[in-house]
Structure 1
Amino acid sequence: WRVRVRHERYTSLATQFDYGPWSPAMRIKLDSRQVGNPRLSTEDLAGDLVAATTPTFLWDRVEGAAGYTLQVDSDSNFSRPIINLPLDGTSYTPQDALPDGTYYWRVAARRSRTVLGRWTPTMTFVKRSLAPAVLSPINGAIINEQPTFTWSAVLTPTETPRIAAPRYRLQLSSDPNFSSPRTFTTDATSYTVAKGESLTDGTWYWRIAIIDAKNNVGAYSEPQQFYKEYLPPTLTQPEQGAIVSEMTSFEWMPVAGAAYYEIELADNPLFNSPTRVRTESTRYTPTSQLAPKQYYWRVRMFDNDRRPGPFEIGQVTIVSPSPFQHAVHLPLITKQ
């Protein structure tokens, strides 16, 4: 800036003046006060630079500021800010939850609606949602029926904890890398495999994550491995290797998860050309008399999706009844 003297001329024209020389040019620097103490509400709860929930952004008041501008972006250059807002107060809580990831943020005081002061240094934080704690099945578990998955509810790490997740995302796979997982969504803290979703026998892996109100999927829990295997029925009647003169029925104990059973009856251990019957009962009675000889019989369960369990094999020998088995014995009468 510079200044010079203006002299009025003594003429009839009041707009004519004489000017002196300009003063040497001088320079000033206009510098607004920088916003102080920028911080996140969750830093002391989840660890430095890590937020378990979408944080509140806070800063100290600047004397004389007309307002503030907050910018938040996943790019440190702030090329397309996710949040770019003029604010009157000294804090801001996003209405929409942020997806998990790394974020950068800064804040500046405003001297007017359009004139910004200096930005704070760029700060960063990581949004990392809490993963549910798995309860069952855990690593190494052996499941003999269709499993029920359970986990604990996720609570916010705040002074007054509250439910942090309206829904959960369950992934289930036979591949530990979850390359093509089955995916289920529920608002409960447990999930039971339903009809049409039953698991084959074998090794399986599962993990669980929260889904926030904006459908952002959080961090998954550590994968848990379990082995699912149906058990064969326990045969109860006739006893293994029994020799009987009459056969009335074959019986076995119920199996958890069974929708029905299949029984096969043959006169050879390879079960060539067997009699095959399916029943919802745990008892089978042949409709015709069995010929006297050795028989092999086996039973297995089927679940609601017609997936079979393993067979349990029994053996019984039927012999001809003794000719005296049904004889009628009359009392001996002697003459006195």
Structure 2
Amino acid sequence: MSDETYTLKDHDLEPNTIYYWWVRTENACGHGSWSIVRFFRSACPIPLAPPRLRSPGDQQTGVELKPEFIWEPVDGAMKYTIEISTDEKFEYLVKKTTVDTLYYVLLQDLLPGTEYHWHVRAENECGASKEWSATWSFTTTPKGILSAPELLYPENGILINELNPEFYWKPVPGAANYRIQISKSPDFGTYEEHVTEKNYWKCTEEKEGKCAPLDPDTRYFWRVRAEDEDGTILGEWSSGHFNTCPTLSPPSFGSPPDKTDVKLNPILSWEPVDGATKYTVQVSRDSYFLSIDITRISNINELPLTDLEKNKTYYWRVRAERGTCIGEWSATWSFRIVDEVVGSGGETTTPAHSDSKTEPTEPPFQDEIPVFQILGFIADILIIGFLLMILVKVLKK
């Protein structure tokens, strides 16, 4: 080139980068020596915009003592610096730190009932932006105030079947313990009270001492509040109520009698239960009901059965229900399907649909013990023996 200046036109320099350069002269006879080496640094990109703050909100009150500070990203930013102060001029900083995320969480508690100010600025390879975000302020929750827990179970107004339910609620920030009260009176004139570190509680005599299952068919009121470790800072109560199911007695059997032979398609019947609106019947060839052949719901106190196998013994049981309320299972009765049933006078009856083909039949109904039942007894004995061995080892220690 013949000019005394040169402008880079077709090459983009990397931002914030040091470059070195020199020059030498040339003519028809050759070229001269290189000049002294000089260097320069390329400019930084367009200045970074200030971040937009998100949380805690400006002028927000009741902020927890370890809040999470959140802001929106800035194009080109590599990291962010946050300042937290008790004064608007940021002369008395509580915290100043630089992070590469869009949030920051304090590791130590702020002072309760105190106003704080905070702002953020972006940084890139050229350094920190000169422009801070807007300054937002917030006030931490006052000492002595803990929010009321949100009750989870039993849900308000629900009808529950269990008489020893587990009570659940959402944890409260800053709480060390929870006090739960259960009463039959809406004003909690008398109540049962317990304290727990967890956000749930269930009556366990070994741990709680005095506590008893709930009464059936009863409305209960319950409330929970959060407390600090010393019990000097008490939160607000949150209250709810629920009802327990009425007692549904196990049904008494009617027909067929226990351990009898019956023809195909028998009709099971039982005594009605006061308060029941429906019944669930289970039929199985397993006296433990580990596998169920039939499960049916009946709105009356009887149930016809079909498609049963000949020469097989079946066990059955029934329970009463009312809405979501479920009673205990009845005792287990059994019957056997046969071709002929011996009557009270010694005569036999044969189903009208029987043909000339006969199948091998079991002997008259006996108090036989199935193989799987024997195996169950053996398993129980082995488990008891194993537990006794552990107990002996513990006592020897």
TM-score interval, normalised by the smaller of the two chains:
0.3 to 0.5
State the TM-score, normalizing by the size of structure 1: 0.34
The structure with more helix, counted as a fraction of residues: 2
State the TM-score, normalizing by the size of structure 2: 0.29
